[in-house]
């Protein structure tokens, strides 16, 4: 069948479904919905967007139609009760070991987490959802109670998922103890996020930089060489390593005397960066 014919058939099916909805209401179609039927339901919902009862009935009736749930979660008029039902529908679908349309389910959860009408109780529940992206979205919502955020971060800090730990390491609500712990995380992205967090205490950060400066892992040494918190004596050691000298040369905290030495380096990139750093400092003084 040619594309034009397929499109004509789909348009006819959509029109038929839309007529059924207009005559008999939102619950007149049965799941599973076809693509044209889904389009008809979403079109119908747009036309009755001010009717919160119809939106709630849609959330109750279409419990497996992910694209209908996604559409509802995108509608600013969607009432809190409907959003809670949509969330419950997604949770049921998540119980399937082979989750259908997992990508769109995540989008539904994200939309719900940031919807202006989402109940706080749903946000709190979402902090324990198996989808880490949903957890992250809910945790970022300022309406989540402080105690729930604290519990979530405590759990995320100890999570086996580096993505959860990375998020916790970058959170403004993470405690000093949690941030200090994540400075030594096995994953470099978590360590990097904790080091960049302005709430990370200075002393453990410096202690971690001292360790990083002599680490067997090149990325750790590079991060130490780039950090403005790295102690001068460690920067001097790192300047002797060809792999990290250029990063020391760019570091705004590198002592001027050391920069002058690096400006005479045999490595063109290290020399260029050191000269640029010295020039910038000279211009700042003027």
Q: What does the domain layout of the chain look like in residue ranges?
A: 201-286
Provide Rg for the chain, Cα atoms: 28
Residue 178: per-residue pLDDT? 92
Q: What is the pLDDT of residue 273?
A: 96
What pLDDT is attached to residue 100?
66
| Tokens coding 258 | 């050391």
Determine the Cα–Cα distance for residues 107 and 101; give it in Å rounded to an integer: 10
How far apart, in Å, do the first and last CA atoms of the chain sit? 76
Residues of the chain with pLDDT under 70: 1, 100, 286
- Cis preceding linkage at 32, omega within 30: yes
Helical axes 162-169 vs 132-140, angle rounded to 10°: 10
Give residue 194's Cα distance to chain centre. Answer: 16
Helices (H), 114-240: 120-126, 132-140, 146-157, 162-169, 176-182, 188-196, 202-213, 218-226, 232-239
The predicted pLDDT at position 10 comes to 84
What local confidence, expressed as pLDDT, does residue 97 receive? 73
> The tokens of 117 are what?
């009408």
Place of tokens 């029109």: 15
Identify the CA nearest to 59 among candidates 50, 68, 51.
68
Q: How far is CA 280 from each of CA 119, 222, 259, 268, 277, rounded to the nearest angstrom?
A: 52, 22, 12, 18, 5
Taking the CA atoms of 38, 43, 44 and 50 in sequence, report the sign of the dihedral they define.
positive
Q: How far is CA 101 from the centre of its chain?
A: 20
- Cα separation, 17 vs 28, whole angstroms: 9
Select from 278, 243, 242 the least CA-distant residue to 260: 278
Asked if residue 116 lies in contact with residue 143, where contact means CB atoms within 8 angstroms, the answer is: no
Residue 68 is encoded by which pair of tokens?
A: 């209908």
Report yes or no on whether pTM surpasses 0.95: no
The C-alpha atoms of residue 58 and residue 71 are separated, in whole angstroms, by: 11
């Amino acid at each position: 069948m040619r594309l034009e014919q397929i499109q004509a058939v789909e348009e006819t099916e959509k029109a038929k479904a839309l007529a059924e909805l207009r005559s008999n209401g939102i619950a007149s179609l049965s799941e599973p919905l076809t693509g044209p039927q889904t389009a008809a339901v979403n079109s119908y919902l747009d036309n009755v967007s001010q009717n919160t009862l119809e939106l709630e009935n849609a959330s109750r009736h279409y419990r497996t139609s992910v694209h209908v749930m996604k559409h509802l979660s995108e509608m600013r008029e969607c009432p809190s009760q409907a959003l809670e039902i949509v969330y419950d529908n997604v949770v049921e679908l998540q119980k399937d070991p082979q989750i259908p349309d997992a990508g769109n389910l995540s989008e539904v959860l994200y939309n719900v987490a940031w919807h202006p009408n989402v109940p706080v109780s749903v946000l709190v529940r979402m902090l324990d959802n198996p989808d880490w992206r949903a957890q992250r979205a809910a945790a970022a919502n300022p309406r989540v109670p402080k105690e729930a955020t604290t519990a979530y971060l405590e759990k995320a800090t100890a999570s086996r998922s580096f993505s959860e730990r990375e998020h916790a390491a970058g959170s403004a609500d993470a405690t000093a103890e949690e941030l200090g712990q994540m400075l030594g995380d096995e994953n470099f992205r978590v360590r990097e996020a904790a080091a960049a967090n302005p709430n990370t205490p200075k002393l453990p950060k410096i202690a971690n930089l001292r360790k990083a400066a002599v680490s067997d892992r090149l990325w750790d040494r590079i991060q130490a060489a780039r950090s403005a918190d790295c102690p001068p004596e460690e920067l001097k050691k790192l300047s002797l390593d060809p792999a990290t000298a250029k990063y020391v040369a760019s570091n705004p905290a590198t002592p001027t005397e050391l920069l002058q030495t690096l400006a005479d380096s045999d490595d063109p990139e290290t020399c260029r960066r050191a000269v640029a750093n010295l020039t910038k400092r000279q211009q700042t003084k003027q």
